[in-house]
Chains A and B, each alone.
Chain A
Amino acid sequence: MTVGLVRSKDLKAGVRRSAAAWPIGTLRYLVAAIFTGFCLFPFYVIVTTALKTETAIFAWPPVWNFKPTLQSFYNALFVFGGRSAIFYLINSVIISAVSTFVAVVLGAMAAYGFARFSFAGKRHLAFWILSTRFAPPVAFIVPIYLMVQKAGMLDSHIALILIYTAMNLSLVIWILRGFFSEIPIEIEEAALVDGYSRLQIFWRVALPLVRPGIVSTAILSAIFSWNEFLYAMVLTQSKAATLPVYLAGFSNSMGLAWGEYMAVGTMAVLPILIFTFALQKHLVRGLTFGAVK
C-alpha cells in the first residue's frame, strides 16, 4: 500500500513537471511540425502532379483525391518530345558519377598533401582553393564556353566532367583535409617505421580511415554535379545533355506538359532523397566547408 502511495506521488510530481513544460514543449512541436510540413509540401506537389491526369493538373479548385496514373511517366520516358528522358537521365548519371570519382580521387590526394606536408605557400594555396567554391558559374560561362568551343568539346561528356570536377574540388579538399588531420599522427608514423612509403601510407592507412568523409563528400559532389544547370545548358545540346537541360525545355512546351515535367522532376529529386538520409551526419559540415561541425 505504502509503495503504491509513494508511486502515485511520484507520478503526480512527474505530471506536474511536464505540465509546467507543456506550453513550451507543445509550441515547439507545433512550430517544428508546421515548418517541416512547409518544407515537404512542394515534394508532395511534385509527385502528385506527376501522377495526375491532365484535367486534374489544371483543375480549380485543386483536386486532392484522384486516381494516380503513370501516364505522365510513360510519356516522358517513351513518347514525349524528340528524345526520351531516359537519354538525359543516363547522361546525368554518367557525368555525375565520373566527375565525382575524379574529384574525390584528386581531392583526396590534395587534401592529404595539405593535411600532412608543409611547403612554402601552403596556407595561401589552401585558401585560394577554398575561395573557388564561390566561383559564380554565370561569370565563368563566357570564357569557359569559348575555351570549350576552341577545344572542339562542345556537347561532349568530357567537358562537363572536367568542369564539374573543378567545381567540386574545393569541397572535397577542404572536407577531407579536416578528416585527414583528425587521424592520430602516430598511426601514420607507425606505418612509416613499419616500412611503408608516404604514398603507400596515404593509400593503405589514411584513405581507409577517412571512409566516412569520402562517402559524404562523394555524395555531396554527386548532388552538386547532378543539380548543375548553367554549364550543362550552355555547353551541351543533344549528345551530352543532362536532366536539367531537359527540364529547361519546359519553357518551350508552352506550359502544357506539366505532368511530364513533374515526372522528370520526380526522377531528378528521388536519388537525392535517398542519398540525403545516407549522409545526414556530415551534411552541415560539408555544406559549410567544415566551418560548422
Chain B
Amino acid sequence: MARIEFKGVSKTYPDGTRAIVDLDLVVEDGELLCLLGPSGCGKSSTIRVLAGLETFSDGMILADNNRIDHLPPQARDCAMIFENYALYPHLTAFENIAMPLRARRLPASEIKARVTKIAGILRMEHLMGRRPSRLSGGEKQRVGIGRALVREPAMFLMDEPLGHLEAYLRVELRAEIRKLQERLGITTIYVTHDQEEAAAIADRIVVMSAGRLQQVGSFLDLFDRPVNRFVAEFVGEPPMVFLPVERTNADSIAVKGVRIPISEPLRAALRATQDRELILGIRPNDFSLGPPVRDHLNGTVTLVQPQGDHAIVAVSTPAGPATAIVPSDRRPAPGATVGLTFAGERLHLFDSAARALNKGEGGG
C-alpha cells in the first residue's frame, strides 16, 4: 500500500547526541522489514520519525514518492503498535479498537461492524467489553494490534511489540502478526532487539548501530556475509569468535604461528589488501574439537554448557578466548586440552577498520 523511502535522514538531539546518521533506506510496498540493533542504536527513533512523533534534523521521508515529513502524525496514515501496549486505560477493548475510526468520524454502525470483524480475526470477541486493567499482557497487545488493523493503514509501525510478553506468547503472537501482515499486504516496519524474532518474521532485516545503518538483507545474508565486525558479532548466537591474525604471505594467514587454510575467494580478497592488522572471525559451529595436535591451535576447556543435543564449549587458546558448539555426546570435560580445527571455506576476515574483506560474488 505504500513504498517508504528515507533519503539522508539525520536526527541530532539538542545535546548533540546523534540518534540517526544519514539514513538511506527503501521499504518496499507490502514488505515486512525488521530494524534490528542493540538498545540506543536509533531503530526506535527511525520509526518515531516516520510516524511524525519526533522531528528530525536533515533529509526527507517519502511515501509512494510523496514527501510526508511535513505532515502531522494524524495525516501520515500509519498505525503503530507499542511495547507497553499504550491502550487507553479508561476505555474498553472495543472502544480502544474503535478510537482510530472515531477520529475519522465514521458512522456508528460501520464502526461496530469493523471492530467486530477485527475482534473475530483476532479471536477475542469475548474480551471486547473489558478494560485494559482486566486483560493479560498477551490480550492487551492483541487489542493493540486490533487498533492498528482496524484502520487499514498505509503502514504498520511496530516498536518492540512483543518485548513485554512471556517467551511462549512471543512465539505465538509473532507468527500471528506475520500471517496477518502477509494476508493484508501492508508495508510494515518492525523494531526489535531480538535477532531470533527478526529472523522468524522479516522479509529483510536492517541492522543498526549508533544511529547508522550497518547492513540490509535477509537473515542468512547477515549471518553468512556480514559486512563488518559489528554485524558479524551481533548476528548469531553465541556470537562469532574473533582471533588476531598474522599475515605469513600475500595470500595466507596464521594464528599464533598456526597456518589457517582459507578458501580461494578469501585468498583473492587477501591479495587485494595491504592491511596487516587483520582479524579472523569464526562462527562457533564452524569449529570442531579434537585431540590436541602439535603445530595446531590447541586450548584448554574452561566451561561446558550443555544445551540438549549440543553443548557450548568455551576454550582458552593462546590467541584468545574461543567458543565452539559440539554435539552433546562428543563434548570434552572442563580442564581438558583440545585441538581446534576449522572449516576453511566458512571463515571471515576483517580489516583494521572492522570491514569484512569482500569474498566476491561466489562467497559463502
Q: Which stretch in B86-94, B110-118, B264-272, B297-305 binds the other chain?
A: B86-94
- Chain B: interface secondary structure? loop
**Bound CA–CA A166/B267 (angstroms):** 81
Report if B103 contacts A (CB, 8 A).
yes
Question: Is there contact, CB below 8 Å, between A197 and B86?
Answer: no
Q: Could you say which residues of chain A place their CB within 8 Å of the CB of B100?
A: 194-195
Which residue of chain A has its CB nearest to the CB of B159? A186
Q: Which stretch in B19-27, B76-84, B225-233, B312-320 binds the other chain?
A: B76-84
Question: Is there contact, CB below 8 Å, between A184 and B84?
Answer: yes
**Bound CA–CA A196/B100 (angstroms):** 8
Question: Is there contact, CB below 8 Å, between A200 and B86?
Answer: no
Output the residue of A189, A191, A197, A200 with the most chain B CB within 10 A.
Answer: A189
Report if A193 contacts B (CB, 8 A).
yes
In the complex, per-residue mask of A34-69: 1 if CB is within 8 Å of any chain B CB, else 0: 000000000000000000000000000000000000
Report if B183 contacts A (CB, 8 A).
no
Partner of B86, one of A187, A195, A208, A209: A187
**Bound CA–CA A208/B103 (angstroms):** 17
Apart from A184-B84, A193-B78, A194-B79, what are 14 other A-B pairs with CB-CB below 8 Å?
A184-B86, A186-B84, A186-B86, A190-B88, A192-B73, A193-B74, A193-B157, A194-B147, A195-B74, A196-B74, A197-B74, A200-B103, A205-B88, A209-B89
CB of B171 to closest CB in A, whole Å: 24
Q: Could you say which residues of chain A place their CB within 8 Å of the CB of B53?
A: 189, 192-193
CB of B77 to closest CB in A, whole Å: 9
Question: Is there contact, CB below 8 Å, between B72 and A197?
Answer: yes
CB of B128 to closest CB in A, whole Å: 18
Given the contacts A208-B90, A209-B89, A209-B90, A196 and B103 also touching, CB distance less than 8 Å: yes
Interface hits, A158-214 → B, CB 8 Å: 184, 186-187, 189-197, 200, 205, 208-209
Interface size on A, residues (CB 8 A): 16
Question: Is there contact, CB below 8 Å, between A190 and B104?
Answer: no
Report if B49 contacts A (CB, 8 A).
no
Q: Could you say which residues of chain B place their CB within 8 Å of the CB of A192?
A: 51-53, 72-74
Interface hits, B144-165 → A, CB 8 Å: 147, 151, 157
Report if B99 contacts A (CB, 8 A).
yes
CB<8 Å pairs between A and B, sample of 9: A187-B86, A187-B87, A190-B147, A191-B88, A191-B103, A193-B74, A193-B80, A194-B79, A195-B103
Output the residue of A186, A192, A194 with the most chain B CB within 10 A.
Answer: A194
Chain B interface residues toward A at CB < 8 A: 51-53, 72-74, 76, 78-80, 82-84, 86-90, 99-100, 103-104, 147, 151, 157
Question: Is there contact, CB below 8 Å, between A194 and B103?
Answer: yes
**Bound CA–CA A196/B103 (angstroms):** 6
Question: Is there contact, CB below 8 Å, between B104 and A195?
Answer: yes
Output the residue of B53, B74, B90, B104 with the most chain A CB within 10 A.
Answer: B74
Q: Could you say which residues of chain B place their CB within 8 Å of the CB of A187?
A: 86-89
**Bound CA–CA A160/B165 (angstroms):** 55
Question: Is there contact, CB below 8 Å, between A193 and B73?
Answer: yes
Q: Could you say which residues of chain A place their CB within 8 Å of the CB of B80?
A: 189-190, 193
CB of B43 to closest CB in A, whole Å: 16
Chain A interface residues toward B at CB < 8 A: 184, 186-187, 189-197, 200, 205, 208-209
**Bound CA–CA A187/B88 (angstroms):** 6
Question: Is there contact, CB below 8 Å, between A189 and B74?
Answer: no
**Bound CA–CA A208/B91 (angstroms):** 10
Which residue of chain A has its CB nearest to the CB of B105? A195
Question: Is there contact, CB below 8 Å, between A193 and B84?
Answer: no
Output the residue of A187, A190, A205 with the most chain B CB within 10 A.
Answer: A190
Q: Could you say which residues of chain A place their CB within 8 Å of the CB of B86?
A: 184, 186-187, 189-190
Q: Could you say which residues of chain B place their CB within 8 Å of the CB of A209?
A: 88-90
Question: Is there contact, CB below 8 Å, between A193 and B51?
Answer: yes
Which residue of chain B has its CB nearest to the CB of A186? B86
Question: Is there contact, CB below 8 Å, between B90 and A191?
Answer: no
Question: Is there contact, CB below 8 Å, between B99 and A191?
Answer: yes
Which residue of chain A has its CB nearest to the CB of B132? A187
CB of A101 to closest CB in B, whole Å: 22
The 4 closest A-B pairs by CB, nearest first: A195-B103, A186-B86, A194-B100, A190-B86
**Bound CA–CA A171/B151 (angstroms):** 41
**Bound CA–CA A32/B157 (angstroms):** 58
**Bound CA–CA A191/B100 (angstroms):** 8
Q: Could you say which residues of chain B place their CB within 8 Å of the CB of A191?
A: 88, 99, 103
Question: Is there contact, CB below 8 Å, between A193 and B79?
Answer: yes
Output the residue of A187, A193, A197 with the most chain B CB within 10 A.
Answer: A193
Q: Could you say which residues of chain B place their CB within 8 Å of the CB of A208?
A: 90
Question: Is there contact, CB below 8 Å, between A189 and B82?
Answer: yes
Question: Is there contact, CB below 8 Å, between B99 and A194?
Answer: yes
Q: Could you say which residues of chain A place their CB within 8 Å of the CB of B147?
A: 190, 194
CB of B89 to closest CB in A, whole Å: 6
**Bound CA–CA A93/B84 (angstroms):** 44
**Bound CA–CA A242/B298 (angstroms):** 95
**Bound CA–CA A187/B104 (angstroms):** 18
Q: Could you say which residues of chain A place their CB within 8 Å of the CB of B51?
A: 189, 192-193
**Bound CA–CA A191/B73 (angstroms):** 10
Q: Could you say which residues of chain B place their CB within 8 Å of the CB of A205?
A: 88
Output the residue of A189, A195, A196, A197 with the most chain B CB within 10 A.
Answer: A195
Q: Could you say which residues of chain A place their CB within 8 Å of the CB of B87?
A: 187, 190
Q: Could you say which residues of chain B place their CB within 8 Å of the CB of A189?
A: 51, 53, 73, 80, 82, 86
Q: Could you say which residues of chain B place their CB within 8 Å of the CB of A190?
A: 80, 82, 86-88, 147
CB of B158 to closest CB in A, whole Å: 12
Question: Is there contact, CB below 8 Å, between A186 and B82?
Answer: yes
CB of B286 to closest CB in A, whole Å: 42
Q: Could you say which residues of chain A place their CB within 8 Å of the CB of B151?
A: 194-195
CB of B36 to closest CB in A, whole Å: 21
**Bound CA–CA A20/B82 (angstroms):** 54
CB of A36 to closest CB in B, whole Å: 36
Which residue of chain A has its CB nearest to the CB of B100? A194
Q: Could you say which residues of chain B place their CB within 8 Å of the CB of A194?
A: 74, 79, 99-100, 103, 147, 151
